[in-house]
Amino acid sequence: MKNNVLLFTPGPLTTSRTTKEAMLSDVGSRDYLFIETVKNIRNGLLELAGVSKEQGYESVIIQGSGTFAVESVLSSVIPEGGQLLVLVNGAYGERMTQIATIHKIKTHVLRFPENEIVNAELVHHYLTDHPEITHVGIIHCETTTGIMNPVAEIGAICEATGKIYIVDAMSSFGGVEMNAKDMRIDFLLSSSNKCIEGVPGFAFVICKSNHLHSSKGNARTLTLDLYAQWEGLDKNGQFRFTPPTLAIMAFQQALNELKVEGGIKARNARYRVNKELLDHGMIQLGFKHYLSPDLQGPIITSFLYPTSPSFDFEKFYALLNDRGLVIYPGKLSKEKAFRIGHIGQIFPNDIQRLLDSVKEVKEMMGF
């Protein structure tokens, strides 16, 4: 069975048939096979982040979408009286701020334009001027535009100034090589349906065990209590509440397939080939990038709306959708742009199929 629908989105993504097939058998949450799979996944995640338990890292799986992990970490690890600095250059940074505010966490925000990376020098100054800040949050690939923030550089600043560092690597982890230790990341967050190419259902956190342990008792919610979740998983491999059993089984298959592909390095290379092909084709069709090319990562690309009055995004989207090709609207605060993801089970021939259809739709619409 070939995929008839291709998702050129930032998640959920196009998944392999075999990953979907891993969900065809029911599995109980106390089943030996299930518990073993959870254990394998938790170890596999540490491995993908280049760290181990021996080095003092843990991984925790949390039911729900990616945002649940962001909310879990912010509401569980920042103690009462702690202060958070959020580095924002897009919608996901804003979301982090919104979550912290809801939990009444004292939050500082440094905002940067959506077409610029977070400026490390300004962050350094701000942290030096505000010793009361205890935690720093940043987005690795800000999916609003696809821009890649300098996570390692900011990590070194956090280490030097003694801040706990929280990185939303939701859309990059699995598609971009990352080493949590080298990048000085204390809490790294991602989810099942992004670059590992699993199906939606859970998020995960890779974290320094000392910081996880010292967060015990800080949680502001029951369901998103990161420490309690870890404790349950560590004690008997079980979730505190109904786990996304089939999404877990699919994820194990997706991890196996990532290994077969050649790991994150090979996956990153495939995504880059996809992106180059897309860039070349879209430019030939007259589209323009929103970001300067050196800032655009291999995950998703933003294109400005064509200026022609015959362009109408809703119509453009619908016509591509009719052809089984799902693109993504923009999320910019000022400019009009749309996005095309090049992650998931997408290969060069799929990009070509998309480009052929964009050309056809462009001619139909007359822009």
Ligand X SMILES: *Cc1c(COP(=O)(O)O)cnc(C)c1O
Q: Out of 6, 44, 66, 148, which residue is the one contacting ligand X (CB under 6 A)?
A: 66
Contact indicator for 191, 204 with CB cutoff of 8 Å: yes
Contact indicator for 11, 172 with CB cutoff of 8 Å: no
Q: Which is nearer to ligand X, 143 or 301 (CB)?
A: 143
Q: Which of these segments, 59-67, 98-106, 283-291, 318-326, binds ligand X (CB under 6 A)?
A: 59-67
Q: Which of these segments, 64-72, 127-135, 209-217, 274-282, binds ligand X (CB under 6 A)?
A: 64-72
The answer to whether residue 171 forms part of the interface with ligand X (CB under 6 A) is yes
- Taking the complex as a whole, the smallest distance from the CB of residue 99 to ligand X amounts, in Å, to 11
Provide the b/e sequence for 265-274 (b: ≥16 CB within 10 Å). eebbebbeeb
Helix then strand then coil, % of the chain, to nearest 5: 40, 20, 40
Q: Is 258 strand, coil or helix?
A: helix
Q: Which of these segments, 62-70, 72-80, 233-241, 336-344, binds ligand X (CB under 6 A)?
A: 62-70
The answer to whether residue 92 forms part of the interface with ligand X (CB under 6 A) is yes
- Taking the complex as a whole, the smallest distance from the CB of residue 96 to ligand X amounts, in Å, to 8
Q: Cβ-count burial of 263 within 10 angstroms (0-12 exposed, 13-18 middle, 19+ buried)?
A: middle
The answer to whether residue 89 forms part of the interface with ligand X (CB under 6 A) is no
Q: Which of these segments, 16-24, 97-105, 164-172, 236-244, binds ligand X (CB under 6 A)?
A: 164-172
Alpha carbon distance 192, 69 (integer Å): 11
Q: Measure CA 367 to chain center.
A: 33
Residues 6 or more apart whose Cβ sits within 8 Å of residue 140: 148, 149, 151, 167, 168, 169, 170, 171, 172, 173, 176, 178
Alpha carbon distance 20, 351 (integer Å): 22
Q: Out of 14, 65, 107, 115, which residue is the one contacting ligand X (CB under 6 A)?
A: 65
The answer to whether residue 139 forms part of the interface with ligand X (CB under 6 A) is yes
The answer to whether residue 114 forms part of the interface with ligand X (CB under 6 A) is no
Contact indicator for 272, 298 with CB cutoff of 8 Å: yes
Of 108, 86, 85, the C-alpha closest to 95 is 86
Binding mask 219-248 for ligand X (x = CB under 6 A): ------------------------------
Give the count of beta carbons closer than 10 Å to the beta carbon of residue 68: 17
Q: Which of these segments, 130-138, 167-175, 258-266, 326-334, binds ligand X (CB under 6 A)?
A: 167-175
Q: Out of 72, 145, 191, 296, which residue is the one contacting ligand X (CB under 6 A)?
A: 191
Q: Measure CA 122 to chain center.
A: 25
- Taking the complex as a whole, the smallest distance from the CB of residue 168 to ligand X amounts, in Å, to 5
Q: Which is nearer to ligand X, 297 or 306 (CB)?
A: 297
- Taking the complex as a whole, the smallest distance from the CB of residue 125 to ligand X amounts, in Å, to 25
- Taking the complex as a whole, the smallest distance from the CB of residue 183 to ligand X amounts, in Å, to 16
Structure tokens given for 200:
């939606």
| Residue with smallest beta-carbon separation from ligand X | 66
The answer to whether residue 143 forms part of the interface with ligand X (CB under 6 A) is yes
The answer to whether residue 11 forms part of the interface with ligand X (CB under 6 A) is yes
Q: Out of 170, 185, 325, 351, which residue is the one contacting ligand X (CB under 6 A)?
A: 170
Contact indicator for 328, 341 with CB cutoff of 8 Å: yes
Q: Out of 19, 59, 63, 67, which residue is the one contacting ligand X (CB under 6 A)?
A: 67
Q: Out of 8, 10, 34, 342, which residue is the one contacting ligand X (CB under 6 A)?
A: 10
Contact indicator for 206, 49 with CB cutoff of 8 Å: yes
Alpha carbon distance 253, 241 (integer Å): 23
Q: Which is nearer to ligand X, 191 or 345 (CB)?
A: 191
Q: Which is nearer to ligand X, 70 or 358 (CB)?
A: 70
Q: Which amino acid, 116?
A: E
The answer to whether residue 168 forms part of the interface with ligand X (CB under 6 A) is yes
Under the rule (CB under 6 A), what is the footprint of ligand X?
10-11, 65-67, 92, 139, 143, 168, 170-171, 191
